[in-house]
Chains A and B, each alone.
Chain A
Amino acid sequence: MKLFFALLLCVSVAPNVFAHGSGSDRLARNLAATCANCHGTEGHSVGKVAALAGKPAQDTIGKLTEFKEGKRPATIMHQIAKGFTDEQLRLIADYFAAQK
């Protein structure tokens, strides 16, 4: 039922078929795209740096939080994680978990 109303809302609010997901989905998408330079488009790394696509959100948010708190050794991620809010990191982890 909830899903039905959510869909109904999308149909009535969205001006056309352009909309891909909700505003928060697009926010998560935009945030995750800041990672792609090193971790690959949508988290599909083609190099030595870790791929993030499909990784369980719990694992990713756990690592990001440890980087941010300086508890996990890193070359660069301890510096970058500090630039994001906890909420942004959670959106990023959830987004990558949903990528195939």
Chain B
Amino acid sequence: MRTVNRRDFLKAAAASAGFAALGGCASMEAGGGKNHVVVIGGGFGGATAARYLKHWGGANVNVTLIERDQEFVSCPLSNLIIGGSKSLPDITRGYASLAKERVRIVHDEVVAIDAEKRTVKLASGQSMGYERLVMSPGVEFQWDQVPALQDAAAREQILHAWKAGPQTLTLRKQLEAMPDGGVFAITIPLAPYRCPPGPYERACQAAHYFKQAKPKSKVLVLDANDKIVSKPALFDKIFKEMYGGMIEYRPNSRLMDVDVATRTAKLEFDDVKADVLNVVPPQRAADIAKNTGLITTNNKWCDVDWLTMESKVQPRIHILGDAVLAAPAMPKSGHMANQHGKIAAAAIIELLDGRAPNSTPVAVNTCYSFVDDKKVIHVSSVHQYNAEKKLLETVKDSGGLSKEANELEGEYALSWAQNIWADMLG
């Protein structure tokens, strides 16, 4: 993988019938071997899986993590940048600690997967063999469902800011440039989408900023769903009591298209003009999952075996995070992706060793949402494996919500971020 020689060798090996045997030797050279696990995507799911594969598997598992970005930028907490209480460095972490724990980090992009030959092809032209593949590819935005935003230049003006990074900063700048008395509108796609409470948290963050800096302004929440998707009673109360007269919530407001020049949201039954328009687009599993034939359901999501996170259609490929067809009441969250990563890591170690995977996996979820710069509300759930239904199922009477927005949970939410970032990246 590091040398031209190896690349040529792999190419030749892939073309030969004896690839399986040769592949092992070839991978050895790159720290691979028959226990080589390739992980695609260094976000909450993939980085966690990579770290725990080494943490639990030790020297007998070789792990390569392929990630296109040089640094990890956290989506959780990124709404605080939009609200003005955090900056980009606060939510950015590097991959150096993970590399020190002997996860081989390759900053590149996977362009194709050959599931038969068990190789991944990178944008740089290199190929890599694997014994098992872990994919945590995230979501693709379905711009075909918002036709005017198929144009990349239009997307520079009407932002999603649904992958944290430059767009997060630009959306903040758009709000800063908006005159007092202006309208910020955010559109929400039909569930399921990444981070169920995120759009409502963002509405609160914008309102929190407006209250201080431009109190005559308005926040319009245009929701394709018929009610608030996450923490509905709490958000409803906060919209009315903390931000009464400022946040207006409109259910059943499905976005059909936008007019870029006038920043107008074209809804099914109405047109709404805004000063700053923010479109959270409809989503599906990322292209690499689609192109590998891993999407099984509604042309959107990838069904998995919950004991191993292995694809229902491609053996030896494990899928994590937002791309997965979620079990009932399981959110697409960073916290949940982390838990997927641990289930997959534990199962892969058992499988590499010729043993049965853990038959009773458990996943916990907690989503904290900041309703201003300090106060937080949470939703939590615990999911245990039901062998009959072959599903991770929420445990009856477990989980729940905050009683009300409070500052103590604001401190816990910041602590959560520090711990989960360390848990995935070392």
* Interface membership of A75, Cβ < 8 A: yes
Nearest B residue (CB) for A16: B353
Residues of chain B within 8 A (CB-CB) of A55 are none
- Give Cα A88–Cα B383 distance, bound, in whole angstroms: 13
B349-365 contacts to A, CB under 8 A, are 349-350, 352-355, 358, 360-364
The smallest C-beta distance from B280 to any residue of chain A, in angstroms, reads 24
Cross-interface CB contact of A27 among B57, B342, B358, cutoff 8 Å: B358
* Interface membership of B85, Cβ < 8 A: no
Residues of chain A within 8 A (CB-CB) of B400 are 79
- Give Cα A80–Cα B378 distance, bound, in whole angstroms: 12
* Residue with the greatest number of chain A CB neighbours at <10 A, chosen from B361, B382, B417: B382
* Interface membership of A72, Cβ < 8 A: no
Nearest B residue (CB) for A42: B55
Pairwise interchain contact B419-A79, C-beta atoms closer than 8 A: no
Residues of chain A within 8 A (CB-CB) of B339 are 34, 37
Q: Give the number of residues in B that approach A within 8 Å (Cβ atoms).
A: 52
Cross-interface CB contact of B382 among A37, A47, A84, cutoff 8 Å: A84
Pairwise interchain contact A47-B398, C-beta atoms closer than 8 A: no
A5-46 contacts to B, CB under 8 A, are 15-20, 26-27, 29-31, 33-41, 45-46
- Give Cα A40–Cα B418 distance, bound, in whole angstroms: 9
With A80-B382, A83-B364, A83-B398 known as contacts, the answer to whether A15 contacts B354 (CB < 8 A) is: yes
Residues of chain B within 8 A (CB-CB) of A75 are 378, 402, 406, 408-409, 412
A-binding residues in B (CB < 8 A): 52, 55-58, 60, 335, 338-339, 342-343, 346, 349-350, 352-355, 358, 360-364, 366, 378, 380-384, 394-395, 397-400, 402, 406, 408-409, 411-412, 414-420, 422-423
Query: 8 tightest CB-CB pairs across the interface, nearest first?
Result: A83-B382, A47-B415, A83-B398, A79-B400, A48-B415, A47-B418, A82-B398, A83-B395
Question: Could you show 16 A-B contacts with beta carbons less than 8 Å apart?
Answer: A16-B353, A26-B350, A30-B346, A38-B412, A40-B422, A40-B423, A46-B422, A47-B414, A47-B415, A47-B417, A47-B419, A49-B412, A76-B412, A83-B382, A84-B382, A88-B362
